[in-house]
Structure 1
Amino acid sequence: MTTAQEPRSVIETRLTHDMHRQATTLLAEAAARREADVAHLTELRDFLVATLRHHHESEDHDLWPMIEAVSPGASEPLKALSDEHDALDAALDALEEMPVPTEGDRRELATAAAALRDLVHTHLSHEEPLLFPALQEHVSPETWEAFALRVITTTPPVGASLLVGFFDEVGTPEEVALILSALPAPAQAGVPAMRAHSAAVIASLRKA
């Protein structure tokens, strides 16, 4: 829930994390159902592999050093979070290599998806109690804006439209408008189409 005291950095990070929770949960559930559309399942899998890798690499290589520079005491806890990122990388590798059968048994895919979901949910429960206060206390609005711009400009295009649909599910309209306002103009123009596509994919996987 947003409060008036939350800075943009916390709002955007919270929405991104909740999106990761929602998307990994949907993948694990849909992968266990034979009726799930293979194209939509593959799109969600590929999106998660790309976006989760990009997310934690941005933290390890950019955000963590930014926080450590002004709060040296955060180094050890942040190192522990980076170690968890290594475990996530292994789970992402396993999921990425897993075929998405057009028919028949998808138990291996479902197992890999469930393992990723569990790791992501556990990791975020460790990360947020440290990260949210650090963002609030140590990262200025200007510093966050520069970091967020770097993240946006390097975001992988794989399944990127799904971002909009999952943000719509986890945020208020005001929060979603805030996080999408940072998109460049060409992407802004494409938001309605991305919203329609992502809503259709998500609905398809939920109904399967």
Structure 2
Amino acid sequence: MSASSQHPVEDAIDFTIMYSTHDAFRRDLERLVAASLAGTALTPAAQAGWENFKNQLVVHHTVEDAELWPRVERAVVDRPQDLALMKEMEDEHALLDPLLKAVDQAMARGSDDLADLTRQLADGLGNHMKHEEESALPLIQEVLTPNDWSAFRGAMARQQGPKGAAMYVPWILDGASSSERERFLGAMPSPIRIINRLFWQSRYQRRKLWAA
């Protein structure tokens, strides 16, 4: 990619929230593996943590498929290699569905292979997110504008709704280091930071997701 084909630095898209979301997915799957090995995967706290993980992942991928990948496809309509990458993103989402279902069924019945199935999901999702971070995000940085990215984020916010946002923000911050927390909150609108501090964080903590 030539320097001239990239957005000027001041117009660069900020992917902080995307990276933070990916990190939260990785963290929760690590927690589920640990819970399954410790024999605590069937506790209400672990079950609630899994239900939240599923919802966050479904929302995230649904909006990417509906709002982000088509936007990129329109921008690279005359570039077959980049169109193929977008198809790979969509196909990888579809391949994750049976892995998610397998873990869900194992959670429901307390299956002995829960840890192995969770590792398979973690590998599949981890590989997809790595592919997205290394290939799709640089392409997005090249062909989309911050306004395009804001439109995608707006679609994500509408899909989540106020109730979803009240879970999403403190979920991202669950277990985050002080620098990670500062970086994520710095990418959020000021009202969200205030509302999270006053209301959402304490409500989330009372749910004790993943607690033994």
What range is the shorter-chain TM-score in?
0.7 to 0.9
Q: Provide the rounded CA distance (Å) in 2 between the counterparts of 1:183 and 1:153.
A: 17
Structure 1 residue runs of 5 or longer lacking an equivalent are none
Q: Quick one: structure 1 residues 11 and 190, their matched pair in 2 at CA, closer, same or farther if it must change by over 3 Å? A: same
* C-alpha displacement of 1:117: 1.0
In the alignment, does 2:128 pair up with 1:123? yes
On the 8 A contact 2:72/2:144 being kept in 1, the answer is yes
Partner of 2:201: 192
Partner of 1:175: 183
TM-score by length of structure 2 reads: 0.76
Partner SS for 1:143: helix
RMSD of equivalent CA atoms: 3.2
Which letter does structure 2 place at the counterpart of 1:161?
M
Partner of 2:115: 110
Which letter does structure 2 place at the counterpart of 1:41?
A
Q: How many residue pairs were aligned?
A: 197
Q: Provide the rounded CA distance (Å) in 1 between the counterparts of 2:190 and 2:142.
A: 22
Matches within 5 A, 1:44-193: 44-72=49-77, 73=79, 74-100=82-108, 106-155=111-160, 161=167, 163-168=169-174, 169=176, 172-181=180-189, 188=196, 190-193=199-202
Q: Deviations over 1:104-131 (max 9, x none)?
A: x652332322221111111112121112
Q: Provide the rounded CA distance (Å) in 1 between the counterparts of 2:67 and 2:159.
A: 12
On the 8 A contact 1:10/1:135 being kept in 2, the answer is no
Q: Which stretch of the first structure deviates more once superposed, 156-165 or 53-62?
A: 156-165
TM-score by length of structure 1 reads: 0.78
Q: Quick one: structure 1 residues 43 and 97, their matched pair in 2 at CA, closer, same or farther if it must change by over 3 Å? A: same
Partner of 1:31: 36
% identity of equivalent residues: 22
Q: Quick one: structure 1 residues 183 and 110, their matched pair in 2 at CA, closer, same or farther if it must change by over 3 Å? A: farther
Q: Quick one: structure 1 residues 195 and 48, their matched pair in 2 at CA, closer, same or farther if it must change by over 3 Å? A: closer
Larger Rg: 2
On the 8 A contact 2:20/2:172 being kept in 1, the answer is no
Structure 2 residue runs of 5 or longer lacking an equivalent are 1-8
